[in-house]
Amino acid sequence: MSKVQGGMKCVKYLLFFFNFIFWLSGSLVLAVGLWLRFDPNTSSLLNEDGAPETFFIAVYILIGAGGIMMLVGFFGCCGAVRESQCLLGSFFACLLVIFGAEVAAGVFGFLKKDKVIEEVTNFYRSSISESGNSTSIVTIYHKILECCGDPNTNAECPNAETKDCITAINDFFNEKLFIIGYVGLGIAGVMIIGMIFSMVLCCAIRNNREVI
């Protein structure tokens, strides 16, 4: 019986430590999501009228998952300390939901990057061909991405070393979407460990009560 209680106490402290790390991870995910959403460069490129919003879908998933992770991490700590099967079961269910959201964000970042880049490229090209406010949009892209022209229009840049805007758009959003992908899948892997710990502790609590 002492061995069972000792093992349960060990798992309890491991789960408590994991939940603290999990809470910190949630803070990181939330911070990355907010940075991607409110990054001045990204916002300037995608906040104009008619700009595609596909990119922000994965960003909103990260922000939501990060906020929920912080909340779930707190309740997971409470469940571990109080040895509550109900709280631990709820913790496991919440982890499962967040796991799905993080995997979705990761897959979106990796698999949908070509679609996002295509939409932004088409938006830039349509801005070139239109008049009015579109000229200011083109100026924003040129300034932020430090690029010039569209190779399909044979536009000449004043500096031969300046990158064309289609290549610049591709490089800029590839970097952002890979960040979303790696963060999403990385945190999803961490949550698998949390689900294992929560189930082990929940089973240990049940077995201990049956022995008693």
Listed by start position, the domains of the chain span: 2-211
The predicted model scores a pTM of: 0.74
- pLDDT recorded at residue 133: 45
* DSSP 3-state of 116: helix
- pLDDT recorded at residue 64: 85
User: Helix 165-211 vs helix 134-145: angle between axes, to the nearest 10 degrees?
Assistant: 70
- pLDDT recorded at residue 135: 66
Rounded distance between C-alpha atoms, residue 74 and residue 156, angstroms: 57
Q: How far apart are the first and last CA of the chain?
A: 9
Rounded distance between C-alpha atoms, residue 178 and residue 60, angstroms: 15
Specify the amino acid at residue 120. Answer: V
- pLDDT recorded at residue 208: 62
Residue 68 near residue 98, CB atoms below 8 Å: yes
CA angle, corner 10, sides to 9 and 13, nearest 5? Answer: 85
- How does pLDDT run along the chain (212 residues), one tens digit per residue? 455 566 667 767 777 777 788 788 888 888 988 998 888 888 888 877 777 888 888 788 888 888 888 887 777 777 667 766 677 777 778 878 877 877 777 777 778 888 888 998 888 888 877 654 456 778 888 888 888 877 665 555 666 667 888 889 999 988 888 888 888 778 777 778 777 777 776 776 666 655 44
**150-to-3, 63, 97, 117, 143 alpha-carbon distances in Å:** 70, 34, 43, 14, 15
Q: How many CB atoms are closer than 10 A to CB 139? A: 11
- pLDDT recorded at residue 79: 67
